[in-house]
A and B are shown apart, each in its own frame.
Chain A
């Protein structure tokens, strides 16, 4: 177990190195000079050169990368070119916003979709099943920005139940904060219910066909216990992996949703930084996202034997 954990952690190092290197390289290949963008066209060459030197941008590429990497390892991701703020605290700050939305949305979506998918599978080909599958497919096909805008239109403008623009942090006023993030959460829940329900249904259908389910019934086990005790752990395993992937993805960027609801999340930070060619923020965001992705999936993998003990054997 310990060795497995260590091995898994070690294998993430090359991934992270590769990610940061490509990001570092690619962002510099994009046309546009951050200093010129910051100072405007009117700035004289001397000022531009001075500032460029101050940020270390005149050094050769590999030296820049090496210096950045060394600092990054001690948790220092540099300072923003456009506003001079330290990158690491900025990312953490913005991440809290995104994470609170994503985590709540996933938990609720799973709590709704897994039972829904299992019931659909249990009543396969019945009207219930058709309605569930149809609904899930519909939700799956909706673009998040469109759904978000419609929700805003209805609940924000027409009904006036929630504020349309803005954000307050939980620390300030948690009830107020909730009204601001409610719609983004609902949008994400609706979108993710589609994916997770279909997955839960598909894996339950597989499991219910297996002999041990018939065997459980032949023992006189009631239908409820068959579903809860015999089918659920086995059917949940593939869904669990999917949740890991979803969580990793969403934590890294719900830029679209954040833009629609004007939330100061990680995704918007990244998008804005790309427009400003703010290299340190872009690099920091992407490295941070990669680390989160790796950690989330590691945790998911470590929990997997809880649902499928066969995995430990290998």
Chain B
């Protein structure tokens, strides 16, 4: 039916390889029609980002397109001359990047960065007019204080705000095609939803086609009409989204769909043990230093939180970014000093504890942190990282320690990895090392701060399953801090919902998920794309 008009983007037989010849993308074809949203799905290493970057000739050094044709509105652009390519970049094809924290230049004011595109692609426009257009566009993406924003630097804004600005600066040029490379992966689920809604809304108004790169099937299901699944550089499956996700034909796609966490009722009978951790009226206040004419102000990150964790139980703390959930976890470990309240660990008041008391607490309570890339010392071998906690243990022989390290690594599925360095491991393997490190002392309480949010979907599921099975065999309690409600639903017995430093709701997981009527909890639940999908998929 569209034989006359060529698709906005048509990629045929694309191959991208390292200069030595190894292929990163192998024979990928796809097309994006007018006004269509097409998703490219895959895990890290699937080559999806490289497909996106090759369109504008932005492959990183060392990678090059070896074969294939890329057509934009019928025009072959894979070897477009430099001048034509620069006119396409930004002017006809806009691109939004993954990390809003690093994709805006920290040294240049927002206004200047936004105007730059206009200056290149609309050279006739005057300065005043450019300025006004920028401000209008910022208001359109929901930034009210647009004038002030233009004069500000990127670091003054949160990730969600930056991604809006990025979107504004790209869409301002009314491109025919928008390439969005994991545009919201770094954001929490509430912000993710807002930004994606905004993006799809804007592109619909302007009639812009979208090539959406993502690893999140929830996002694919919600926003795209068609999707393409990539695995290790090869095209696995493609077609209308409802069909691909609703009835996946290929094994790999099925695995991806299955990896979406689903509500699974937990057997609640095994717990109700003694209280391991109790927190009462906990306050944490950060002092913000004032400038010359500003007074020092207090930022109250946690305001009067009460909670208890019983033996063997998993309690999840959920909330958007800035809700104080991470600070809460750190305050319980006394990594940040609380400004008020009490924390008791098995009856011992922690805030009054001396060196010896804190020492025994630190032995019994461990942290698993979010970023598996920075939480492991790159100069230590895996065995040393995991075994470090044993050094403080006196009554243990060297061979005893060694076999304990082997055992701990075997438990997380990394037997024989002692001599490796962290950089030789994948993100999921590093997080396994972090888990082994936390569990080697047989702690009674584990605080897991967003342990899976930096990982791919299928890896997320593996890590969650691992945590669950280890908990079953070792019986530790877990405080699971996360913004990922689907994961929480799988792993937690009870849920605590935080907003702006306060607990707004808490209760049994199923009760909160099924019957919550608190507006903030509802908003969080709505924003969780994976859950919507699973409901859709069941239908």
Contact = CB atoms under 8 A, between A and B. Distances in A.
Interface in B97-134: 97-99, 102-108, 116-117, 120-121
Given A220-B121, A233-B107, A234-B106, A214 B155 contact: no
Contacts of A4: 292
A309 B109 CA distance: 9
Contacts of B108: 229-230, 233
A70 to B, nearest CB: 33
Interface in A213-265: 214-222, 229-230, 233-234
Contact of B106 (A1, A217, A219, A310): A310
Contacts of B87: 220
A47 interface: no
B309 interface: no
Main secondary structure of the interface of A (DSSP, over half): helix
B105 A217 contact: no
A124 interface: yes
Nearest to B89: A220
Given A2-B292, A219-B90, A313-B155, A214 B105 contact: no
A307 interface: yes
A215 B103 contact: yes
A4 B293 CA distance: 12
B105 A308 contact: no
B127 to A, nearest CB: 17
A212 B61 contact: no
A211 B103 contact: yes
Contacts of A222: 86
Contacts of A2: 292
A210 interface: yes
A308 B106 contact: yes
Contacts of A217: 56, 58, 89
Contacts of B183: none
B354 interface: no
A3 interface: yes
Contact of A211 (B90, B102, B170): B102
Interface in B22-46: none
B291 interface: yes
A223 to B, nearest CB: 9
Contact of A310 (B88, B91, B117, B153): B153
A1 to B, nearest CB: 5
A220 B108 CA distance: 17
B498 interface: no
Contacts of B90: 218-220
A234 B97 CA distance: 19
B156 interface: yes
Nearest to A210: B102
Contacts of A220: 86-91, 117, 120-121
A220 B106 CA distance: 19
B97 A214 contact: yes
B56 A309 contact: no
B95 interface: yes
A309 B104 contact: no
Contact of A309 (B91, B155, B169, B170): B155
B155 to A, nearest CB: 4
Contacts of B89: 217-220
A92 B261 CA distance: 74
A212 B120 CA distance: 17
25 contacts: A1-B291, A2-B292, A3-B292, A4-B292, A211-B102, A214-B103, A215-B166, A217-B56, A217-B89, A218-B90, A219-B90, A220-B89, A220-B117, A220-B120, A220-B121, A221-B120, A229-B108, A234-B106, A234-B107, A307-B107, A309-B106, A309-B107, A310-B106, A310-B155, A313-B156
